[in-house]
Structure 1
Amino acid sequence: MELWLNELMQWLALPQHGLSTVFVVAFISATLLPMGSEPVLFGLVKLNPELFWPAILVATAGNTLGGMFSWWMGWGTHKAVNRWRGSGSHHRALIWLEKLGPKACLLSWLPVIGDPLCAVAGWLKMPFWPCTLYMAIGKFARYLVMTAGLLWVFPGQF
């Protein structure tokens, strides 16, 4: 089993497979599923330093598309949220989100609240393209800072 897993990891780290793997993992991690894409991105860049910028851009694209998918899911979930409606935290969150508008999607990079934030933006029917732009900016900045920071902390080759 260990040999098979090692071979699979080596195969996924190849440049021709690694970028698609980063895209899929980044997409899935931007939905409401509890998953992080940063280790996959860091692993690919660590094994293939020449893919730094392509990997950052692919991760940003995948994560942004995942956020757009979450926005779409939120847009269609009015009935499910009606049970939560009326609570104090619901009211405060709505006021805050409506005040910020699509700019609130800049915070989509945050752990725990970022992915649901995209869904809530869709539920509130905030404009799709401005939300997408702000999601992309926030996610790009997160991937750039985290990957560059990890490469600075772990500079040696594996």
Structure 2
Amino acid sequence: MAFDLAAYAGLFSAALIAATILPLQSEAILVGLILTGDYSIVALLLTASVGNTLGGAVNWILGRGVERFKDRRWFPVKPAQLEKAQRWYRRYGKWSLLFSWLPIGGDALTVVAGVLREPLPTFLVLVFIGKAARYCVLAWVTLHLS
């Protein structure tokens, strides 16, 4: 197994950016690195999971301060949409963060968790579990289909 810092840094960066509100896919990079057979699967999974979790934490931080801008004309979310997301999070609670990996709505969950002041340690643990589970399934499928 090789240790190529650039490969791991690239995967980490892609996973971090993909978890923010910016569109990027880290799954393709992970699959590509797995298929080379040159890297430790465990190291790849940890790298992607930590990067993606920290990207979610960026959203949590944005959520902590987003409400002060909700009445601005340029704000991308209508007050009714923000209230709907908050009601949904209040209904399902912190456990919904296990689904923060979902391509639709996952990033919104992490922002709303910040808006509603979910404690950061709880946030990080639940988001990491969800995102790591997704990457593990992806790695398993990749290894068994290749």
For Structure 1 versus Structure 2, the TM-score category normalised by the shorter chain is: 0.7 to 0.9
Identity, % of aligned positions = 35
User: Which residue is 1:63 aligned to?
Assistant: 52
- 1:91 Cα shift? 4.3
Give ranges in structure 2 of 5+ residues lacking alignment: 73-77
Q: Hey, which bits of structure 1, 4+ residues long, moved more than 6 A?
A: none
Q: Which has the higher helix share?
A: 1
Q: Which is higher, the Rg of structure 1 or of structure 2?
A: 1
Matches for 1:1-158 after TM superposition, within 5 Å? 15-82=4-71, 84-85=78-79, 87=80, 90-153=82-145, 155=146
Distance in 2 separating the partners of 1:49 and 1:149: 18
TM-score normalised by L of structure 2: 0.86
- 1:112 Cα shift? 2.3
Q: Which whole-Å deviations, capped at 9, do the CAs of 1:40-90 have from their partners, x for residues lacking one? A: 0111111135411110011000000010111001111103334722x3x55
Distance in 2 separating the partners of 1:67 and 1:91: 20
User: Which residue is 1:9 aligned to?
Assistant: none
Give ranges in structure 1 of 5+ residues lacking alignment: 1-12
CA RMSD of aligned residues (A): 1.9
Aligned residue type for 1:136: F
Aligned length: 140
Q: Which whole-Å deviations, capped at 9, do the CAs of 1:12-55 have from their partners, x for residues lacking one? A: x9733211111111001010011110000111111135411110
- Contact persistence 1:56–1:140 (CA under 8 A): yes
- 1:146 Cα shift? 1.2
Structure 2 residue matching 1:76: 3-state secondary structure: helix
Distance in 1 separating the partners of 2:90 and 2:82: 12
